[in-house]
Amino acid sequence: HDGSDLHGLRVVISAGGTREPLDPVRFLGNRSSGRQGVALAAKAAARGAQVHLVAANVDSSVLAAVPGNVQITSVETTAELQDAMLEASAASHVVVMAAAVADFRPARTRTEKTKKHADGSVESLELVQNPDILAGLVAGRREGQIIVGFAAETGDADGSVLDHGRAKARRKGADLLAVNAVGADVGFGDVPNEVHLLDASGSDLGAGGGSKDDVAHVVWDAVVRLLNSRSG
Ligand code: C5P
C-alpha cells in the first residue's frame, strides 16, 4: 500500500466496546477487544492520515499497538463515546465506527454496591435504549465526509449474513458498511476476520480480509476509491 494515500486526511475511529454501569463495581458490557479499531488506526496512520482513536475500554496491551502519532481519547459509556465522536467528527474527513456499542443501559445506576436480599428475592433490571451513534453521525454528516460502520452478523453459509448486512446498510445510511460474520471462531478477539463492504444502497463492493490488519487495509482501500470517485 502507498505510504501516503491517506495523507492530508483527518480520520476518527472508535474502537472497543462500551460499558454501562449498574453500580460502582458492575457493568453491562460486551466482548469486543478493540483490535479491529486499533488495526484501522495503525494502518490509517501508516498510510499518512492524521488519526484520532476513541477507545472504549480497550486493554492497554491492545492499545500498545497504536503508533505514537495517533491521538487517543479513552471513554467508558455509550454517552461518553457519543460525545467524543460528535466532537471529533466535526473536524474529520472520515469517521469509522468500529466500536461495539451497548444497545441498552440500566435505567438507573446505583451509587452504592447492590446487595443481596436476606429473603432470597431478586430485583429485575430495567433497561433503556441507547442512542444509535452511527445514525446520529450520518444525520449530521458534513459535506464530503465519509462515514463507515461495522456490522457483526450471525448466520450461516446460505447468505443470510449478507442479507442482514444489506438491510442494515440501507437502514443506517453510512457510506460504507463493513459486514462480518461472528460465530464461534470468527469475529471477536484475536482471530481471523473477513468483511464484505456494502454501500448505502446495500450493493456489495467486494469482500476481503484475513487478519484484522488485512481488513483495515480493505476498508482504507475502499475509502480511497470512494474519495477518488468523488473528486474525479
Ligand atoms: O445495528 P448494529 O449494532 O449492528 O450496528 C453496528 C454499527 O452501528 C457499528 O458501526 C456500531 O459502531 C454502530 N452503533 C452505534 N450506536 C449504537 C449501536 C451501534 O453507533 N447504539
Catalytic residue numbers?
30
Please list, in sequence order, all residues whose beta carbon lies within 8 angstroms of the beta carbon of residue 151, skipping any fewer than 6 positions away: 164, 165, 168, 169, 172, 177, 178, 179, 180
pLDDT tens digits, one per residue of 52-110: 999 999 999 999 999 999 999 999 999 999 999 999 999 999 999 999 999 999 999 99
- pTM (predicted TM-score): 0.94
Answer yes or no: is pLDDT of 192 > 70: no
* Distance (Å) from CA 132 to ligand 1 centroid: 6
pLDDT, position 157: 58
Please list, in sequence order, all residues whose beta carbon lies within 8 angstroms of the beta carbon of residue 9, skipping any fewer than 6 positions away: 48, 49, 50, 93, 94
- ipTM, interface predicted TM-score of the complex: 0.98
* Distance (Å) from CA 101 to ligand 1 centroid: 6
What's the rounded mean pLDDT across residues 4-9?
97
* Distance (Å) from CA 80 to ligand 1 centroid: 15
Phi, psi of 35 (to 5 degrees): -65, -40
pLDDT tens digits, one per residue of 24-33: 999 999 999 9
pLDDT, position 190: 53
pLDDT, position 158: 64
Q: Which of 97, 148, 153 to mutate to test the pocket of ligand 1 (most atoms within 8 A of CB)?
A: 97
Categorize the per-residue pLDDT at 43 as very low, low, confident or very high, splitting at 50, 70 and 90: very high
What's the rounded mean pLDDT across residues 17-45?
97
Answer yes or no: is pLDDT of 2 > 80: no
- The pLDDT mean for the chain works out to 92
Name which of 16-20, 54-58, 178-182 the model is least confident about.
Answer: 178-182
In one-letter notation, the amino acid at residue 132 is D
pLDDT tens digits, one per residue of 110-161: 999 999 999 999 989 999 999 999 999 999 999 999 999 999 887 765 678 8
pLDDT, position 187: 54
Euclidean distance between CA atoms 130 and 211, whole angstroms: 31
Q: Which of 96, 101, 177, 180 to mutate to test the pocket of ligand 1 (most atoms within 8 A of CB)?
A: 101
Pocket residues: Cβ below 6 A from ligand 1: 97, 99, 101, 103, 130, 132-134, 149-151, 168
Contacts by 207-210, CB closer than 8 A, 24 or more apart: 209/180
